[in-house]
Structure 1
Amino acid sequence: MFDKLIKIGRYDISINNPTFLIAEIGSNFDGSFDRAKKLIKDAKDCGAQVAKFQSFKTEKIISANNFGKSSFQKNWDQSVGEVYKSAEFPLDWMLELKQYTEELGLEFMSSPYDLNALDELVKIGVSCIKIGSGEISNPEFLKLAAETKLPIILATGAASLSEIDEAMNIFDKSRNSKIILLQCITQYPTQFQYANIRTIETYRQTYGCIVGYSDHTPGLAVPLGSVALGARVIEKHFTDDKSRKGPDHPFAMDLLDFKEMSEQIRNLEKALGNSWKKIEACEEETIILQRRGLVTTQKIYKGEPITKENSTLLRPQKGILPKDVQNVLGKMLNKDLDAETPIRWEDIT
């Protein structure tokens, strides 16, 4: 069984807690320590709970000579190997950036893509390990990550259910129950028809774990739809300028985008409410204003009967309720009532 409540740093993650928003800075720091700090601060200002990077050495993640360019890499000016090299996030930056991130009230994360990076993240005391989709078929790496006993957020882009089963079995055998599964589509950007948000329902029903979405579609539709279906972790690529050169800038959210997403998710969380239908406090006045009550259509004198001809049902509901009208027709008034006067029970003999 996997935990329904997971603590990541200062944040509690569960279906009953606010959605955990990850600003995936990734390579968008553009090789600059100062830009990395700026983007962390920007993420804080835009409503994120996490500033996230990616930790790898090019020679430990790709065989550059064996790469052509895929559909989303075809517009890169440099070779795949050169792009990866320029996107490396130095391990010796992590401790200082983690401390800065936490001073701002955020959690620091960086997806490790080799064992040195995983070891360094554990050494500096991160609160969670985020594993990218590409490592889901790497069982030894998953096992070592699970054995840290830290919460694991696993993205599942381009993975089959059988591969996800294998990963979850590794976590289970490693006795790590703090697992969050993210639906993800590894195409940048992703077209809406491939987003398949409802996969998160399958994950929740199959594994009983906390679920979320690592999203590469434009805009807010997929994050909002995911939260409505129960996602409690949302990850989006983040930049301060979509026009900058680099592989991740064009499809990332900028500051205005991310802030709007954060605000709209918080509004949605309030709007979702719970499954109980009740009269809300804000509706109490409209119960009277929008419902009908029995009212006179002409002056009726004491001792005269109430009829369909001298009464009707009109808003606001100040008179006898529509459901009781048949019980009062033919009854006598005990006082004179002017036209357009509500007829109340105390007015009837």
Structure 2
Amino acid sequence: MTKKTYIIAEAGVNHNGKLDLALKLCDAAKESAVDAIKFQTWKTELIISKNTEMAEYQKKNLQIEESQYDMLKKLELSYNDFKVIKKYCDDIGIQFLSTADEPESLDFLCDLGMPFIKLGSGDINNVPFLRYTASKGLPIILSTGMSNMKDVSFAYDILKEAGVSDISILHCTTNYPCPMNEVNLKAMLTIKEALKCKIGYSDHTLGVEVPVAAVALGAEIIEKHFTLDKKMEGPDHSASLEPEELKDMVLKIRNIEQALGNGVKEPNESEKNISKVVLKVILAKTNIKKGEKLTEKNLIIKRAEQGLSAVYWDLIVGTEAKHDYKIDEPIRI
């Protein structure tokens, strides 16, 4: 049975603080056949001080001068908005998810009904929030951008010690867009080897090849930013997939899942039929009389519909023919 990768379409803040746009993103995610759509839920005054500058990628993408606080305040959706979004997701049949950035929003999301909690990279060092998240008793998916293996292990241990048994770790590079030479996809395997946990990849590269490659390497969860239009104003649009690209990514991942197979090296049914006329057999190279010694001079290996497999060559050469053979007739034991 094909192992199915859990694919999360990361809407993030690409709704630009507008409920109607958020609902359109839900429609696009559903049509793309992902497993879930994820947003971000926060109260701006609870997560950032007012004079904090924007990150460099945010400055570059927005091309405006304002604080990170002001930027996030404009992108903030209300709890009531998220209630509407959650109900809409239920109605159209797609899993609603959202990352909480502080305890109040986490409480709200858990009350709203979440199958698991997704923690962003920005909270990998937030010890009290990690412990508070663990207290909810839900499985946790943790992104690990801006961290080294020691940081990841520390956060993982905090969650484990607080009683969480189901923890998935997503390798991530926090840069929008992430250049290929900063992906370091093999780090995902390092995490798996070190923590013996379920792994995945949260992608910020342009295009779809890296998340597809991550699945080929063993990612069980893929998270990818998407938008309705890359040209829209906002910090993450330019590094996101548009709906048709998201569909393409899902299709490629599902194809790779099938291609990975079960790991058992054996011919499949179609190969068994083909092998009958492709794998070589032992034939008479010349006319051979019964009792004549079979040698490399009177035997030949060719493709034929019948005959003794060429794997028995060493066993046949040097023995006496038990039958008369005409040229190209299969050798029999």
TM > 0.5 fold call:
yes
Preserved CA contact (<8 Å) 1:242 1:251: yes
CA distances 1:46-104 after superposition (whole Å, capped 9, x unpaired): 12111110112222222232315524423414423332122112211222211221333
Counterpart of 1:4 in structure 2 is none
Counterpart of 1:170 in structure 2 is 158
Mark the CA change 1:304 to 1:172 in structure 2 (over 3 Å): closer, same or farther: closer
Residue 142 of structure 1 pairs with residue 130 of structure 2: yes
> Residue 282 of structure 2: which of 277, 294, 316 is its match?
294
Bigger mean CA offset, 155-164 vs 185-194: 155-164
Mark the CA change 1:69 to 1:98 in structure 2 (over 3 Å): closer, same or farther: closer
Instruction: Give the C-alpha shift of residue 284 in structure 1.
Output: 0.3
Residue 112 of structure 1 pairs with residue 112 of structure 2: no
Preserved CA contact (<8 Å) 2:14 2:237: yes
Counterpart of 2:200 in structure 1 is 212
Query: How many Å separate the matches in 1 of 2:293 and 2:55?
Result: 89
Counterpart of 2:265 in structure 1 is 277
Preserved CA contact (<8 Å) 2:61 2:236: no
Runs (5+) with no aligned partner, structure 1? 1-14
Query: How many Å separate the matches in 2 of 1:84 and 1:124?
Result: 22
CA distances 1:256-276 after superposition (whole Å, capped 9, x unpaired): 221111111111111212332
Mark the CA change 1:113 to 1:341 in structure 2 (over 3 Å): closer, same or farther: same
Q: Secondary structure at the match of 2:308?
A: coil
In the alignment, residue 194 of structure 1 is paired with which amino acid? E
TM-score normalised per structure 2: 0.90
Mark the CA change 1:109 to 1:336 in structure 2 (over 3 Å): closer, same or farther: closer
In the alignment, residue 35 of structure 1 is paired with which amino acid? L
Residue 97 of structure 1 pairs with residue 92 of structure 2: no
Query: How many Å separate the matches in 1 of 2:153 and 2:313?
Result: 63
Mark the CA change 1:309 to 1:17 in structure 2 (over 3 Å): closer, same or farther: closer
In the alignment, residue 262 of structure 2 is paired with which amino acid? N
Instruction: Give the C-alpha shift of residue 282 in structure 1.
Output: 2.0
In the alignment, residue 201 of structure 2 is paired with which amino acid? Y
> Residue 167 of structure 2: which of 179, 187, 192 is its match?
179
Bigger mean CA offset, 23-32 vs 306-315: 306-315
CA distances 1:174-229 after superposition (whole Å, capped 9, x unpaired): 21112111111111111111111122222222222211111111222321222222
Q: Secondary structure at the match of 1:96?
A: helix
Preserved CA contact (<8 Å) 1:305 1:333: no
> Residue 142 of structure 2: which of 142, 154, 167 is its match?
154
Mark the CA change 1:312 to 1:17 in structure 2 (over 3 Å): closer, same or farther: closer
Q: Secondary structure at the match of 1:181?
A: strand
Instruction: Give the C-alpha shift of residue 132 in structure 1.
Output: 0.8
TM-score normalised per structure 1: 0.86
Counterpart of 1:321 in structure 2 is 309
In proportion to residue count, which structure has more helix? 2
In the alignment, residue 36 of structure 1 is paired with which amino acid? A
> Residue 64 of structure 1: which of 39, 50, 59 is its match?
50
Residue 222 of structure 1 pairs with residue 210 of structure 2: yes
Bigger mean CA offset, 187-196 vs 203-212: 203-212
Counterpart of 2:320 in structure 1 is 331
What's the RMSD between the two structures over aligned residues? 2.4
In the alignment, residue 48 of structure 1 is paired with which amino acid? V
CA distances 1:140-178 after superposition (whole Å, capped 9, x unpaired): 111111101111111111023332233222212221112
Mark the CA change 1:98 to 1:318 in structure 2 (over 3 Å): closer, same or farther: same
Query: How many Å separate the matches in 2 of 1:184 and 1:234?
Result: 10
Instruction: Give the C-alpha shift of residue 246 in structure 1.
Output: 1.3
Mark the CA change 1:246 to 1:302 in structure 2 (over 3 Å): closer, same or farther: same
Residue 200 of structure 1 pairs with residue 202 of structure 2: no
Preserved CA contact (<8 Å) 2:8 2:35: yes
